[in-house]
Amino acid sequence: MNALVAIRSAALAIALTAVLTIGSEISDSLKAFFALTGSAWVGKSITLLVAFGVSLALLPGSKEDYTLRDIWALVAVVAAGGLAMAAFFATHAL
């Protein structure tokens, strides 16, 4: 497995985590769909694991190795997702 593909797959899964978390709070039907497993968090986690695995399999391999820029891009995705969820829940609580 190529490390660059793994980093890009992780970034995709992390961004999808933020989108699905916010989406399931906005949409009762989406939350109900995830809750079919018994818990919305478990359903969401299974979905994200599948998305990560599929992106690992489908993203094209690269002969180049990852760079510090790729790591910082992953950190930026984590920060943006965290900030988006924090902002949503902070405003949603008001």
Assign 18 a pLDDT band (cuts: 50, 70, 90).
very high
pLDDT at site 93: 78
Dihedral angle, C-alpha 36, 39, 45, 47, nearest 10 ° = 10
**pLDDT above 70 (res 13):** yes
pTM to 2 decimal places: 0.86
* Structural domain harbouring 36: 3-92
Q: Got the DSSP string for 25-58?
A: HH-HHHHHHHGGGSSHHHHHHHHHHHHHHHHHHH
State how many domains the chain has. Answer: 1
